[in-house]
Chain A
Amino acid sequence: MMQWFAGGQRCLRVVSTLTALILFNALLGNFALADTGPDVAYRAFPLVGSRVAVWVAAQLHLLFAAFVLAVPLFALIIEFIGYKTGDKRYDKLAYEFVKLLSVSFSFTASFGAALTFLLIILYPKFTTYLMYVFKPTFAPYVILLFLEGIFLYSYYYGWGKFKPKTHLFLGLGLNLVGTSIMLIANAWLTFMTSPGGITESGELISTWAAVKNYTWMPINIHRIIANVCFGGSVAAAYAAFKFLQAKTDEERAHYDWMGYIGNFVAIIAFLPLPFAGYWLAKEIYAFNQTLGVTMMGGAFSWLFIIQAVMIGNLFLSANFYLWLGMGRVEGGEKYQRYVKYLVVVIVTCILIWATPRSLISTAKEMQLMGGAFHPMLGYLGVMSAKNTAVNILILSTFLSFLFYRRCGKEATVSWAKLGNLAQALIMATAACIVLFFGIYGYFVEAAVRIKFSVPQVLSVLTAMISVSAIDYFLFRGARTKPIRWGNMPIISQYTLFFLAVTFTWLMGLMGYVRSGLRLHWHVYGIMPDTSPDAFTPTLGFATQVVSVTVLIFFCFISFIFWLASLSGKQNFDGSTAEH
């Protein structure tokens, strides 16, 4: 039986090797057939086409890059907290996060190389043009990439080997270098959407102006925040994976805590993300209203409905995880009674947030409504309603977090009642400001209405900062009950998986919108795409590509999780592993 099994395995290996060789030959053959000389503008990629090949490679590269950039950021903060408080748990946690980095860094580089080769082979003319504009940025990019490797591996392998301050310095260097790499790469891709520093015929005037184009800084900010959000959620998914594998209560407690921290990082970063996205969209409109309308009102607007549904799910899941978390704290029941009100507010806001302006309706429904807009629901589809809903959603999520933080705590300061009252007043005032501008927005013209988002956002941010500050002093020296880490239902861990997959899927979807809104241009208004792939794919096809890419990413990340989990296992000879 065993012999038969071993023979079968050998047979399988031979067949898979042969299949790989045939595929490799087919790919090479296809490239060679499509190549018509050194001056060719495009070459075809077999089976899926050039666009999909570059799209998938770029998306995978970006997802790993986002992870590699984000994890050091919050690992450094956690390590710093451990250093300041002297609590070894934080140090262990930071190291656990960093363990995921080394393989991820290799995958990022591999997908980066694949993307570069694909661009050079499939889109040589366009790649040459980008090289012409951004030539001076390549040397610093390569140097920074080397530095990133040096910092990353010193940071990882030097854990516990260097003095704490030296190690923190390495972490800081890793973050600064990583962010600089991202800023350079962002210049290339934002130039494609909102070119600057060139003449109308594409001649270079200034590389710096090309770098500092309209959408560069909004993308930088948006990506830094989104990366942290994404990195936190993937790290939380890793903790959930380990939680489900855990055999002892101690392990469960550790990974429950790790999952909580990862999710906390993700949610904290997620709260300001809509504002950063709003700024980016505003800059796209300011650069060119055609791009803006294509994105928000035209061919891509339906993708924003999907985005709204996904974001609604994210908010609900994030709150759900916090409510579940109340169960792990003694005395958490006290705050469970508010959950029903939070559910009502959050679901109401999500319904408004996800109501499309132009509704999908049958011919009969359309006749009844008198068009694609519903006479009542249509009011929920415009910016005033959306901004109001998302701001209240953020406030409600913050309130859930506040309740969670308070579970099992009893303030001992003399001004506790006054503090609570002040917090309630601040939250209520912020909600009233948001609602006031939301309703008033219906009575003013669009140019004025757009500006209302500023006081709405500021009131929410001010409320969150001031309430957090009061809370910090209010519960300093408070009577606390123990947190029973690990005492979480299994569904909470699947919620962490859901959050990670949804964040990743959203990144893929919105990345496609940002890139795809150029339509048939490589560099918008300057260099048209004349390849057979120049058409805009259908929304269904686009979402399928995004979904498959996310699936591939999670296959790779599962492999990384598995590799990371090997370090804690015994060696094959029975000795204990070092890490």
Chain B
Amino acid sequence: MNLLMLLPVFVVIGVLYFLRVNLLVWALAWWLGCYFLITHLLKIPAPVSVVKIYMSFISLGIAAFVISDRGRWESFKKPLLRLANEKKFMPLLILLVLAGPSLAAFKVYHSMSQPIEAPSFGRTIHPAPPDEITFKGKQIDLVKSRNPFRELEVKDPEAFKQHVESGRKIYFQNCFYCHGDALNGKGMFVHGLNPLPTNFTDPGTIPMLQESFLFWRIAKGGPGLPEEGGPWMSAMPAWENFLEEDQIWDVILFLYDHTGRKPRAAEAEHG
């Protein structure tokens, strides 16, 4: 975060407080201050869609504050009424009347002069898995399936380590080109991919999922994604064509082990 960006906001608030400005100026200052922070506080800027949602609610919040009390509303209106009615403010009023359409025209010009970009699409987070899949002729129940080697973590730690090691080798032989050697989704092919490969170090990815979900995703890849929520445009191969069942479970063990995450536990049975 660019915490230094807080400084100008605090300075402006201090100056406005010292000048004892009216509510109209405060409301405008809050609105602009929030906009400035939302667009500048984060090192990686928030997408425009998020800025729009945030600023809509901030605008509504400021409006609710101003209108919800007669005294505040009067104080807010007073300078606007003076501006509209007093002759001495006529030049400023004309300027403001001209500024509105000018700003709109500038906005149109600005948005039309942007470089052409590939269209974006809202990719859903987790595609819904089927209840069961066929893996090389074998039916696998994704609801009930568990990683067969997970229990070794407690029962036989040595054997567990061997499976993790096997998973590590499989990962670096097959997966790291896209998902990266740090498992952060920044592999060497990443610049050619959209959507980007999953970042396994993100706490919002594999810890949120059961291992059977990962098994389905790895085994069936992009071609096995469900129709709803598409187009997925995933470049992930269907690894059932290249790996055995045990190898996929091994690589899943490695993903969790290396990132220090735990898979999502199965929900308790319904009583």
Taking beta carbons and an 8 Å cutoff, which residues of A are in contact with B? Answer: 214, 282-283, 285-291, 293-294, 297-299, 301-302, 309, 312-313, 316, 319-320, 323-324, 326-327, 333, 336, 339-340, 343-344, 346-347, 350-351, 354-366, 368-379, 381-382, 442, 445-447, 489, 491, 519, 525, 536
Contact = CB atoms under 8 A, between A and B. Distances in A.
Interface string B60-77: 111011011111100000
Contact of A368 (B45, B126, B202, B208): B45
B contact patch SS: loop
Nearest to B230: A299
Contacts of A302: 122, 124
A243 B13 CA distance: 41
B202 A378 contact: yes
Contacts of A299: 124, 128, 228-229
A381 B124 CA distance: 13
A474 to B, nearest CB: 25
Given A316-B61, A372-B125, A374-B50, 11 more contacts: A298-B126, A309-B53, A316-B60, A316-B64, A323-B64, A354-B57, A365-B120, A370-B184, A374-B44, A381-B204, A447-B264
B90 interface: no
Contacts of A290: 128-131, 142-143
B125 A297 contact: yes
9 contacts: A298-B126, A298-B228, A299-B228, A316-B57, A333-B71, A336-B69, A355-B53, A370-B196, A371-B199
A320 B61 CA distance: 9
> Which of A289, A301, A323, A447 gathers most chain B CB within 10 Å?
A289
Given A297-B125, A319-B64, A525-B131, A368 B53 contact: no
B233 to A, nearest CB: 11
A370 B185 contact: yes
Interface of B: 1, 42, 44-50, 53-54, 57-58, 60-62, 64-65, 67-72, 117-120, 122-131, 142-143, 184-186, 194-196, 198-199, 202-204, 207-208, 210, 213, 226, 228-229, 261-265, 267-270
Nearest to B269: A286
Given A323-B64, A360-B120, A370-B185, A288 B267 contact: no
B204 A324 contact: no
Given A339-B69, A357-B204, A293 B58 contact: no
A289 B263 CA distance: 15
Contact of B208 (A319, A354, A446): A446
A376 to B, nearest CB: 6
A288 to B, nearest CB: 7
Contact of B120 (A340, A363, A371, A382): A363
A298 B69 contact: no
A347 B57 contact: yes
Nearest to B270: A286
Nearest to B228: A299
B117 A359 contact: no
A283 B189 CA distance: 41
Contact of B207 (A344, A365, A445): A445
A368 B210 contact: no
A355 B119 CA distance: 22
Contact of A366 (B60, B120, B202, B229): B120
Contacts of B184: 370
B65 A362 contact: no
Given A326-B69, A366-B196, A371-B196, A446 B264 contact: yes
Contacts of A375: 44
Nearest to A368: B44
A282 to B, nearest CB: 8
Contacts of A536: 228
A442 B203 contact: yes
B47 A362 contact: yes
